[in-house]
Structure 1
Amino acid sequence: MLRYAERMSDAQDFEGLVAVVTGGASGIGAAIANELSARGSRVAIIDRQLGEIPPGMLAIEADVTDDATVVAAVQTIATQLGGIDVLINNAGIGAAGNITANDDDEWHRVWDVNVVGIARMTRACLPWLRRSDAASIVNTASVVAHVGVKDRALYASTKGAVAALTLAMAADHLADGIRVNAVSPGTADTPWVARLLEAAESPDAAAEALRKRQPMGRLVSADEVAWAVASLASPRAASTTGTILSVDGGMRSVRV
């Protein structure tokens, strides 16, 4: 019997697969959901706030910090769509400031979403992923996991944990036939970044500083991150696991 990857073309490499995208209602998550759908996947979105979801996608309102709602959402997806093959752990929240800027409650809140939320989602999806012959998990880390960036202490700590967790998960679930990878986006053109800029004393100057911080001189687009996520999750990348792929305009490794 041919492996799944050998039966698919590049254009429809997710044909027949079920993908779950957390934080999929906007920004990078929405772009990922659209990319996977365009490549043949049946897509389920989990988000705390559901806006206008494209036709054909299953959308479930749930919070990754609430284990009961996570388990219920995953059960609904697996029942309605016939299983789960791909999990994109994209849900996350930001935080600004140095080590003194956020109180203990905020530290716990951001870690609960960005790190423990991945554990909850993965734990709930594992029984179905183990049954798939094209099982894949992709986590969303960040360039700040690898490069020191001013005023991102709390956020960077969580994304560094996501990078480490990705490697640990890749080792743990290799025997299950589940590949685990991550993307590390640079500063992306997303609603969260837009809100940061709106709150800045000089939004235009702040936007220009963000663009200059990346060697390419512009923000990363959500679609570029989505393409990278789909490439890692694709059955055609069957030998790729434990990889953290930078999509950061060269911010991590290029000096110009």
Structure 2
Amino acid sequence: MNEALRLEHIYFGYEEDLDTLIDVSFSVKKGDYVTLIGHNGSGKSTLAKIISFLLNPNSGKIFINEEEINSNDENKLKNIRKIIGIVFQNPDNQFIGSTVEDDIAFGLENRNTDVKKMKELVYEYAKKVNMDKFLNKEPSELSGGQKQRVAIAGILALNLKIIIFDEATSMLDPEGVEDIKRLIFEMREKDPTLTFISITHDIEEAYLSDYCIVLNKGKILKEGKPFEVFQNEELISSTGLDIPFVLKVKNALKDNGIEISENIKTIDELGEYICKLK
């Protein structure tokens, strides 16, 4: 089985006769880092909640590991929640513990994790998100970005197979965003079957992903490898989004007769490549 997730003909509306999602179908391979992008109101966050089984679609099918999951089957849902986790945009909506340590430990406690092992995992993932010096702090003593780091640590510590970030780095400074990106890539190297789905406005992040899905007014407008998706500048602009800066530079170089590999996705990589041309 190489498929982590598949959606077939998903429809959803918060109000009758007003669809937020319209005939959404796509699949995600195990180990892929997939980004869902789109303007505000495109249906991204609603789709994230449906994928994580926090909302039930009005119609359509959801498959996890190629098995259809019925939202009315509590036993299957209980098992699915051991596989899928989500980090929301607003960390206040998911900070449960009285301290940082308690919050990261919450999910592990629910799994009856051995106390010694739990403490090790809490410290390990707090350190990975640079919150190991704040373990005894209460949420009222933390900034929004720090609470977001704690939420990310709590999900990552659970050793899930599908992790969904719903604008989960929106409150972090640029350095913090880069820290989380590095952590994601480290975890994927450690477990090649680990699947990340990121709902984001960050087009630079989307360009680094394995697969990109563009949502517009509840429908999938375009999907594919980021290099292919962002080449259609007119389509991307029609959604209110821009194309990544590195791609703008690559296109300018191409206009001057310099072809750049699609595997080069960052400014640093581009700079190194250009230096080698001299």
Q: If the TM-score is normalised by the length of the shorter chain, which range does it land in?
A: 0.3 to 0.5
Structure 2 length-normalised TM:
0.32
Higher normalized contact order (CA 8 Å, seq sep 6+, divided by chain length): 2
Q: Could you say which structure has the larger radius of gyration?
A: 2
In terms of fraction of residues, the more strand-rich structure is 2
